[in-house]
Homo-oligomer: A and B are copies of this chain.
Amino acid sequence: MTENDKQTEEKIFESATDVFMAKGMDGARMQDIADHAGINKSLLHYYYRTKDHLFNAVFEKIAGQMFKKFAPVFDENLTLEEKIRFFYREHITFLQNNPRLPAFLLNELHRNPARIKKLIQGIDINKIWSTLEAQHKDDLIKYNITRETIPQLMTSIAAMSVFPFLAKPIIGSLMEKMGYDFDEYIEERKKYAADFVIKAMKK
């Protein structure tokens, strides 16, 4: 039945996502995924031929999500500062709901570098630069942003939101030990990161 079909196939996909996210490709076990979904292991092979296929399906979806979140910033009609604030609000909220996503993605890209090309084919820094120039010509001068410094700036912006999630094993434990609350820290970071970057950009 198509109804039950979708249910099973979807259940498998969701369980696979959970297990692969938590354990990675190498650490994940097909039996784990089956148990997690409450079904027989053979069903995994019935719907997704192999572990590689299943992992592939999960990775493709996950990878897509990550970068879709960056584009809308440029669609909004906002000042550069407002765009930065907008970005951190959206991006950190997304990471709050998908805290393991960056680590999962980077681990897999390290394990299988062949994926990278396909993943970044949609990203064109020159295009981003053109868009920025068109939308914020004076801000680029005001903030001294050039083609040479844009990698430094963009990685710094990404670092501010992504790093806390990548380093959560350490940061989270350290904060717990010291009486801070990680979730609160993340919530506050939406504003802190924006303020930090905006101040840093000023000449």
A150 to chain B, nearest CB (A): 9
Which residue of B111, B123, B196 is within 8 Å of A27 (Cβ)? B111
B-side contacts of A105, CB under 8 Å? 170
Contact B163 A166 (CB under 8 A): yes
In chain A between 85 and 127, which residues have their CB closer than 8 angstroms to a CB of chain B? 103, 105-107, 109-111, 113, 116-117, 119-120, 123-126
**Tier of interface size on chain A:** 35 or more
Q: Are A125 and B178 touching (Cβ within 8 A)? A: yes
Q: Which of B106, B119, B199 contacts A199 (CB 8 A)?
A: B199
A188-B152, A196-B200, A197-B200 given; A167·B158 CB < 8 A = yes
Is the C-beta of A132 less than 8 angstroms from some C-beta in chain B?
no
Q: Which residues of B contact A173 (CB under 8 A)?
A: 113, 116-117, 120
Q: How many Å from the CB of A13 to the closest CB on chain B? A: 22
A161 nearest CB neighbor, chain B only: B159
Quick check: B159 and A116 within 8 Å, CB to CB? Answer: no
Residue of B nearest to A166 (CB): B166
A163-B159, A199-B199 in contact; A110/B175 too (CB < 8 A)? no
- A38 within 8 Å of B by Cβ? no
Provide the bound-state CA to CA distance between A83 and B21, in Å.
38
Which residue of B124, B125, B163 is within 8 Å of A162 (Cβ)? Answer: B163
A78 within 8 A of B: no
- The chain A residues found within 8 Å of chain B, CB to CB, are 23-24, 26-27, 103, 105-107, 109-111, 113, 116-117, 119-120, 123-126, 149, 151-152, 155-156, 158-160, 162-164, 166-167, 169-171, 173-175, 177-178, 180, 185, 188-189, 192-193, 195-197, 199-202
10 A-B contact pairs sorted by A residue (CB < 8 Å): A103-B110, A117-B173, A124-B178, A151-B175, A151-B178, A151-B185, A162-B163, A162-B167, A166-B166, A199-B202
